[in-house]
Chain A
Amino acid sequence: MRKLKLLLLYFIAFSFGTLYSQEWKPVNGTKNVSNHYTLFKNANIYQADGTYLSDGQLLIRKNKIEAISKTIEAPKNTIVVDLQGKFIYPSFIELHADFSIPKVKAESRSSKPQIESSKIGPYYWNEAVKPEVNAFEILQYDQKAAEKYRKMGFGTILTHQKDGIIRGTSSLLNLDDQEKGRVIKEKASFHYSFYKGSSQQSYPSSLMGIIALIKQTLYDAKWYEENPLKTDFNASLKAINDYKGLPQFFDVESELSILRAAKIGKEFNIPFIIKGNGEEYKRIKEIQKTGVRLIVPINFPIAYDVSDPFLNRQLPLSKLKEWEMAAFNLRLLAQAYIPFTITSQDLESEKDFYSNITKTIENGFNRKKAIESLTSIPASFIGIEKELGSLEKNKLANFLIFSDTVFTAKSILLENWVDGKQNIINELPEIDIRGVYSLNINKTLQYDIEIKGELNHLKSTIALKNETEKKKLNVKLQGNRVNLYFQNDKNESMELIGSVNDRESRIWFGKALIENEWVSWGAIRKKLDFEKQSDSAKVKEPRIMPTINFPNMAYGTDSFPKAGKALLFRNATIWTNEKDGIVKNYDLLINEGKILMLGYKINMEVMFPKLANKVQEIDLKGKHLTSGIIDEHSHIAISRGVNESGQAVTAEVSIGDVVNSDDINIYRQLAGGVTTSQLLHGSANPIGGQSAIIKLRWGKSPEDMKVAGVDGFIKFALGENVKQSNWGDHNTVRFPQTRMGVEQVFYDAFYRAKEYKADWQLYNAKSAKDKKKAIAPRYDLELNTLAEILDSNRFITCHSYIQSEINMLMHVADSMKFRVNTFTHILEGYKVADKMKKHGVAASTFSDWWAYKFEVNDAIPYNGAILHKQGVLTGFNSDDAEMGRRLNQEAAKAVKYGGVSEVEAWKFVTLNPAKMLHLDDRLGSIKAGKVADLVIWSHNPLSIYAIAEQVYIDGILYFDLQKSKELEVRDLKERERIIDLMLLENKKGKPKQEISKEEKLLYECETLNDL
Chain B
Amino acid sequence: MRIFLILMLFVLSENITSQTPASKQNKSILLIDAKVHVGNGTVIPRAAIGIENGKIKMVLDAFDIRMDSTAYDTIIHLKGKEIYPGFIAPNSRLGLVEVDALRATRDFDDVGLFNPHVRSITAYNAESKITSTVRTNGVLLAQITPKGGLISGSSSIVNLDAWNWEDAILKEDDGIHLNWPNSLNPRETDKKKIEELKKNYQEKLSNLSQFLEEALAYQKLDFHLEKNIRYESMRAVFNQEANIYVHVDDANEITDAIYLLDKYKLNVVIVGGYEAWLVPELLSDRKIPVLLTRVHSLPKNEDDDIHLSYKLPMILEKAGLLVALQNSGSMEAMGTRNLPFYAGTAVAYGLEYEKAIAMLTLNTAKILGVDKQVGSIEVGKNATLFVSEGDALDMRTNKIIFAFINGKKIDLDNPQKQLYRKYSKKYEN
Binding site for B on A (CB under 8 A): 308, 310-311, 313-314, 316-318, 553-555, 664-665, 667-668, 671, 720, 725-726, 830-831, 833-834, 848-854, 857-858, 860-862, 866, 869-870, 881-883, 886, 889, 892-893, 895-896, 898, 902, 939-940, 942-947, 964, 968, 971, 975, 993-1002
Contacts and interface: CB of A to CB of B under 8 A. Distances in A.
Given A852-B101, A896-B399, A313 B393 contact: no
B189 A996 contact: yes
11 contacts: A311-B184, A314-B184, A316-B302, A554-B303, A668-B306, A671-B306, A850-B416, A857-B99, A860-B419, A862-B416, A862-B417
Nearest to B128: A851
Interface in B373-401: 393-396, 398-399
B99 A849 contact: no
A9 to B, nearest CB: 62
A312 to B, nearest CB: 10
Given A893-B395, A996-B194, A317 B302 contact: yes
B2 interface: no
Contacts of B338: 848
Contacts of B102: 853-854
B127 interface: no
Contacts of A870: 427
B184 A996 contact: yes
Contacts of A857: 99
Contacts of B399: 896
Interface size class of B (residues with CB under 8 A): 35 or more
Contact of B341 (A889, A902, A939, A1001): A889
B188 interface: yes
Contacts of A896: 395-396, 398-399
Q: Which secondary structure dominates where chain A touches chain B?
A: loop
Nearest to B251: A310
A944 B394 contact: yes
A1001 B189 CA distance: 14
A945 B423 contact: no
Given A830-B423, A898-B420, A944-B341, A852 B100 contact: yes
A947 B297 CA distance: 16
A996 B186 CA distance: 7
Contact of B191 (A830, A852, A993, A999): A993
B150 to A, nearest CB: 19
Contacts of B301: 313-314, 316, 998
Contacts of B130: 851
B305 to A, nearest CB: 6
B334 A944 contact: no
Interface in B274-322: 275, 278, 296-307
Contacts of A975: 303
A61 B420 CA distance: 93
Nearest to B334: A851
B396 to A, nearest CB: 5
A623 B116 CA distance: 53
Contacts of A889: 341, 345, 395
B302 A318 contact: yes
B427 A834 contact: yes
Contact of A833 (B298, B299, B300, B427): B427
Contacts of A667: 306
B331 interface: yes
Interface in B126-157: 129-130
A860 B416 contact: yes
B347 interface: yes
Nearest to B391: A944
A946 B348 contact: yes
Contacts of B275: 310, 313
Q: Return the 9 tightest CB-CB contacts between A and B, nearest first.
A: A944-B344, A999-B186, A853-B101, A554-B303, A316-B302, A862-B420, A851-B334, A860-B416, A997-B184
A886 B394 CA distance: 13
Interface string B336-348: 0110010011011
B99 A851 contact: yes
B250 interface: yes
A770 B126 CA distance: 76
Residue in B102, B182, B195, B417 with the greatest tally of chain A CB atoms within 10 Å: B102
Contacts of B300: 999
Contact of A999 (B187, B337, B348, B394): B187
A317 B189 CA distance: 17
Contacts of A850: 334, 416
A945 B348 contact: yes
A1001 B252 CA distance: 23
Nearest to A672: B306
Nearest to A847: B395
A747 to B, nearest CB: 28
Nearest to A995: B184
Contacts of B88: none
B394 A945 contact: yes
Given A310-B250, A861-B416, A898-B420, A851 B187 contact: no
B248 to A, nearest CB: 13
Given A849-B331, A857-B99, A943 B396 contact: yes
B333 interface: yes
Nearest to B427: A870
A664 B194 contact: no
A855 B171 CA distance: 35
B423 A664 contact: no
Contact of A555 (B99, B195, B306): B306
A114 B419 CA distance: 43
Given A311-B252, A853-B100, A862-B416, A942 B302 contact: no
A665 B344 CA distance: 22
B173 interface: no
Contacts of B347: 944-945
Contacts of B419: 830, 858, 860, 862
A208 B61 CA distance: 66
A435 to B, nearest CB: 43
Contacts of B25: none
B424 interface: yes
A570 B104 CA distance: 58
Contacts of B240: none
B117 interface: no
Contact of B334 (A830, A852, A947): A852
A996 B188 contact: yes
B186 A997 contact: yes
B134 to A, nearest CB: 11
Contact of B278 (A310, A720, A892, A945): A310
B82 interface: no
B298 A996 contact: no
A311 B255 CA distance: 12
Nearest to B253: A310
Given A553-B303, A860-B416, 10 more contacts: A313-B304, A852-B331, A853-B101, A943-B396, A944-B393, A945-B348, A946-B348, A975-B303, A996-B187, A998-B186
Contacts of B345: 886, 889, 944
Contact of A851 (B100, B252, B306, B349): B100
Interface in B146-195: 182, 184-189, 191, 194-195
B52 interface: no
Interface in B174-218: 182, 184-189, 191, 194-195, 198
B189 A726 contact: no
A1002 B300 CA distance: 12
B195 A994 contact: yes
B395 A316 contact: no
Contacts of A853: 99-102
B313 to A, nearest CB: 13
A553 B100 contact: no
Contacts of B395: 889, 892-893, 895-896, 944
A892 B300 CA distance: 26
Contacts of A314: 184, 301
Contacts of A316: 301-303
A972 to B, nearest CB: 8
